[in-house]
Amino acid sequence: MELTSEERAILAGKHGEAPRRALQYQIEVGRFWGAKRLVPVTNVHMMGDIEVMGDAGLEYLREETRLEARCRVATTTNARCIDFALCDKLGQDPAEVAKERELIQCLRCMDAVTTDTCINYQTVYQPHLGEHVAWGDTGTVIYANSVFGARSNFESGPAAFAAALTGRTPEYGFHLSEHRKGTFAVELTAALEDLADWGAVGKLVGEAHQDYFAVPVFHGYRRTPMADELKHLGAALASYGSMAMFHFVGVTPEAPTDLGFLSEKMIVGEKEIQSVYSGYSLGDGDARLVVFSGPQQSLLEMKRLAELFHERRIKDGAACFVTTNGAVLAQSRALGYAGILEKAGVTILEGVCFYILQNLSPMRSRNRWTNMVSNSAKIVNIIGAHRFNTILRRTKECVEIACTGCLK
């Protein structure tokens, strides 16, 4: 791999042991993928919490703290596993809560901005066309590549952390123009009026093309999609298909105008969307858990939920969780949305994702939840390891299920 003089200096340990190790690691990863060089990045978004890192990861961060590791570029953190205000109520393990606090402290010592959000692209930083970043959480990566035209691979926790310490990342995959071209076309004839419909598109297209380097090109849609709609589409494509990029003709900056070169064509209409909803087993009919999470809710999603829950009340014995980040929650409180939701009996979790909540499996057992209903196609896909039977429903239907206990 070609290295600049600065990179050679880092590798020689002239900037300290922490960046030296980080760069050595990045070179190994880059060699695997055939990267010719490293590219500077402007922004890093990393996943790091005690549930995903475990004791080994925490010990690693302690060592990096001792080595006086510092983030060289702006570095933010993804949603985490502990809600510090509600951890007791949720039955989260106090020892793990303490470790999470220490972990956050380690990251802050290194100058990371602990935003605890998976919607950094909506609330923290919006890179521009061609800007190289190193982001983790697949939903953030696909949004960066597709909607902004920025350039990132899926950067898992260790890889994003290394990029934070060196300010660069190996140049392979979606940093290269050759991988950013569409590989198949998808005509959207369905109306797609709810966020869950957009997730359903992601499920249909992703399941049929499970390949990191597959890039769908959407076309034929008759209105301008909104940010939250593209967010649910991207999160589902990344989750079901392991995809990191899509194009949307007339919407995203790198979308092609001529689709003639794409041999494979797929159509998603009303019938296909309906087949997604009818494909879920209702299990034993348990309707006591409704979740709006994965990704965290934007301010406009909070507003919509407040409208739907206004003067309603979730059914006795049911639980409804909404997750968002601290900034959106503060604004939701100021605007009265949070108050409406809490009055309806909804629990708002801050800075977390429901999927990675510490102690989620015991929580499920204790509450004897069997089903989980959500308007997020992503979370219904990934939470299976916790042995939930999951059901995707439209936002309004999710609210009805939470308030009536009636699952259809």
Which residues are at the interface with other proteins (CB under 8 A)? 25, 28-29, 31-34, 47-48, 52-57, 59-60, 78, 136-138, 153-159, 172-173, 210-212, 238-239, 242, 356, 382, 384-385, 387
Q: Minimum Å distance from CB 210 to other proteins?
A: 6
- Alpha helices of 314-356 — where are they, by DSSP H? 326-335, 337-343
Q: Strand, coil or helix: what is 49?
A: coil
Judged by CB, which is closer to other proteins: 19, or 57?
57
Q: How far is the CB of 226 from other proteins (least distance, A)?
A: 24
Nearest to 141 by CA among 127, 153, 159: 153
Q: Is the dihedral of CA 397, 401, 404, 406 positive or negative?
A: positive
Sheet holding 347-350, edge to edge: 347-350, 319-324, 289-292, 371-374, 389-392
- 122 vs 152 by CB, closer to other proteins: 152
> Shortest distance, CB of residue 136 to other proteins, whole angstroms?
4
Q: Tell me which H or E stretch contains 5.
A: helix 5-11
Is residue 76 a contact partner of residue 44, using CB atoms and an 8 Å limit? yes
Name the helix (H) or strand (E) containing 234.
helix 227-241
Indicate the Cα dihedral angle 107, 112, 114, 118, nearest 10°.
Answer: -110
Helix, strand, or coil (residue 297): coil
Q: Which is nearer to other proteins, 243 or 314 (CB)?
A: 243
Tokens of 346: 């909804």
* Cβ-based nearer residue to other proteins, 174 or 198: 174
Neighbour count for residue 131 (Cβ, 10 Å): 17
Rounded Cα gap, residues 348 and 353, in angstroms: 11
Nearer to other proteins, 163 or 373 (CB): 163
Q: Which amino acid is at 261?
A: F
Nearer to other proteins, 235 or 306 (CB): 235
Cα–Cα distance for residue pair 47/45, rounded to 1 Å:
7
Nearer to other proteins, 25 or 84 (CB): 25
Find the shortest distance in angstroms from Cβ 148 to other proteins.
18
Nearer to other proteins, 210 or 274 (CB): 210
278 Cβ contact partners less than 8 Å away, ≥ 6 residues apart: none
Q: How far is the CB of 130 from other proteins (least distance, A)?
A: 20
- Residue pair 295/118 in contact (Cβ under 8 Å)? The answer is yes
CA distances to 118, 285, 380 from 123, rounded to whole Å, are 9, 37, 24
Cβ 159 to other proteins, closest distance in Å?
A: 4
- 327 HSE (CA, 13 A, CB side): 15
Residue 154 CB, nearest distance to other proteins (Å)? 5
Q: Smallest distance, Å, CB 398 to other proteins? A: 23
**Nearest approach, Cβ of residue 395 and other proteins (Å):** 23
Q: In the complex, what is the shortest distance from the CB of residue 33 to other proteins, in angstroms, rounded to a whole number?
A: 7
**Which run of H or E residues covers position 100?**
helix 94-109
Based on CB atoms, which residue is closest to other proteins, 125 or 221? 125
Q: Which is nearer to other proteins, 52 or 86 (CB)?
A: 52
Residues present in the chain in total = 408
**Amino acid identity, position 223:** R
Distance of CA 248 to the CA centre of its chain: 20
